[in-house]
Amino acid sequence: MIGSERSPVLCPAESVTTAASELGESPLWDPAGVLYWVDIPGLRLHNVMPSGSGVSVGLDVRISAVELGPGDDLLAVTERGLAWLDPRSGRTSPVVELPLEPGARMNDAAIDPRGRCWAGSATHDHRRIGSLFCVAGRSVAVAARGLGMSNGLDWSPDGQVLYHVDTAAGNISAWRYRPATGEVSGRRVLRHVSSRVGLPDGLTVDAEGAVWVAIWGAGQVWRLDPVSGERLMTVDVPAACPTSCVFGGPDLDVLYVTSARQDGDGGLLYRAEVGVRGIPPRRFVEGF
């Protein structure tokens, strides 16, 4: 389906779950046939299968994002760094602590095409002291500084472009990316979202290279042209504050959307049939 900024394709989303999260975040498709996501303040890890059945476990620390690990454990983003997470028990064990500025905390993350974990930090008051870290095994590098709220990130299908959201600035940016070294350069703003419309939050990239961004406060997920930033499709979410999105299902053809509960609205997991497929999920490589 092809749309344009003047007439983007409209697509509705429907709820998958009935129990609401306070702040649902970080949807993650596991090829084993499970979709994971976290309720950050609720200290819960949820999962659901395409059949609709699922379970929820309590967490021993606050977790803002989860990614696939090299084995059965997930890689979790804690307030101060990364940890292994047993998805059956909810127990964690530290992997690496990250060099945060005072008052900053970790937020969203993603795995690059070579198995590095990229994770960003944020502050509650959006002071521009956030950083974007690249973790290769146990080695940590700072890729960017001066961020207000580092949020969603993902790569183009060929791995040559890194897309990244700074929610506080309202910017969805594109960087040139070198997969072999993990170096970024040539940042440009792909799309600025006015705070009058909403706030860009989590994102994912589809197999055609388009960028999908959850727009907090607008009740929408936008599909953007990766070159012009033009809006090609709008997914209407029956919640004011969608938080992130990911492709899942056996054929990676279902867009799953997490959300936050605001004024009694939202907090559920939603799904939409959008007519395109996602990129297979990547795993963190421990022995980098």
Q: List 132's β-bridge partners, or say none.
A: 120, 144
171 carries a ligand binding annotation:
no
Residue written as token pair 């990911």? 246
27: nearest Cα among 47, 54, 49: 47
The residue from 60, 201, 251, 265 that is catalytic is: 201
107 carries a ligand binding annotation:
yes
Active site residue 206: no
265 carries a ligand binding annotation:
no
Alpha-carbon distance of 116 to 131, in angstroms, equals: 16
105 carries a ligand binding annotation:
yes
- CB proximity list for 14: less than 8 A, separation 6 or greater: 238, 270, 271, 272
Structure tokens at 229: 């930033």
47 carries a ligand binding annotation:
no
From residue 193, alpha-carbon distances to 56, 81, 170, 196, 198 in Å are 34, 29, 5, 8, 7
223 carries a ligand binding annotation:
no
Q: List, by residue number, the catalytic residues.
A: 201
Q: Pick out the residues of the known binding site.
A: 25, 105, 107, 125, 151, 201
Q: Pick out the residues of the known binding site for substrate.
A: 105, 107, 125
Q: Pick out the residues of the known binding site for a divalent metal cation.
A: 25, 151, 201
